[in-house]
Structure 1
């Protein structure tokens, strides 16, 4: 069921929702992490997004990475589930997101070179010098990535 979140929002408006999402981490040789500049909030996050109805975390991660970054990815390792924190979007939507974080590796495609309806830009950042992030959960996920790489 495509556009599941849109359909739910049409029914409940801006009421707080608990939603499931998948996010992925691609790093370069310097362990810099690929982030996308979001069109909705104009800050940075890991490529990823909400599950559609009937979709698994794994399937959502592959689909969302292609949509947000232009890359075909393969899941390497689960880095954990993150369920703390709330996000209020500029349109008034409020969420508590339960996110499955994965380490992923590119296996095809290429990083987006032009803006889309979800991504304004893509850029690698050192884990110790990150730009303004979407929310506390994104900060927590990147701290887990830093701990994983021992930086």
Structure 2
């Protein structure tokens, strides 16, 4: 059982501060890799919560591999997002205020492959066009990070 699961056993669905990472993966055509989420059925960025004693970079490396089967030799810091507009309520009722470090993965290797139960599909999307069924939190993250302007 992971740290967040253990914490949830104590506090239930009440709001918590969730510290995590988002990893932006761009291909040679400047398209972004997104995953179709199992919990909401919409498209979201690669990322997740830190485990105890884990660095942000270690979490980014782990999440990139777990959710997309990819490796990166470098993570470029983009921004830190937090505050009331980073609130999110999951479909099963858990509430969080995210504190997210956004990285862009550099020198990415591997073939996008789902390695966990959080994603149904992986696909590259253009940053210039609005994406149907984009997760609302992903939209906030990409807009605040300067990756999209719509």
1:87 shift after superposition: 1.0
Cα contact 1:36–1:123 (8 A) shared by 2: yes
Structure 1 segment 1-150 matched on structure 2, within 5 A: 3-83=2-82, 84-112=85-113, 116-129=116-129, 130-136=131-137, 138-143=138-143, 144-146=145-147
Unaligned runs of 5+ in 1: none
1:106 shift after superposition: 4.7
Unaligned runs of 5+ in 2: none
Task: Name the CA distance, whole Å, in 1 between partners of 2:132 and 2:66.
Answer: 21
SS class of match (1:49): strand
Task: Name the CA distance, whole Å, in 1 between partners of 2:37 and 2:111.
Answer: 18
Moved over 6 A (4+): none
Task: Name the CA distance, whole Å, in 1 between partners of 2:99 and 2:54.
Answer: 15
Aligned pairs, how many?
Answer: 145
1:5 shift after superposition: 0.4
Cα contact 2:86–2:99 (8 A) shared by 1: no
> Please, what is the CA RMSD of the aligned residues?
2.0
1:115 shift after superposition: 7.4
Task: Name which of structure 1's ranges 125-134 and 13-22 shifts more when overlaid on structure 2.
Answer: 125-134
Task: Name the CA distance, whole Å, in 2 between partners of 1:95 and 1:134.
Answer: 15
The TM-score, its normalising length taken from structure 1, stands at 0.87
Q: Deviations over 1:14-38 (max 9, x none)?
A: 0011110111111112211000111
Q: Deviations over 1:93-137 (max 9, x none)?
A: 01111110011035433211x67411100000111222322224x
1:146 shift after superposition: 2.5
1:86 shift after superposition: 1.2
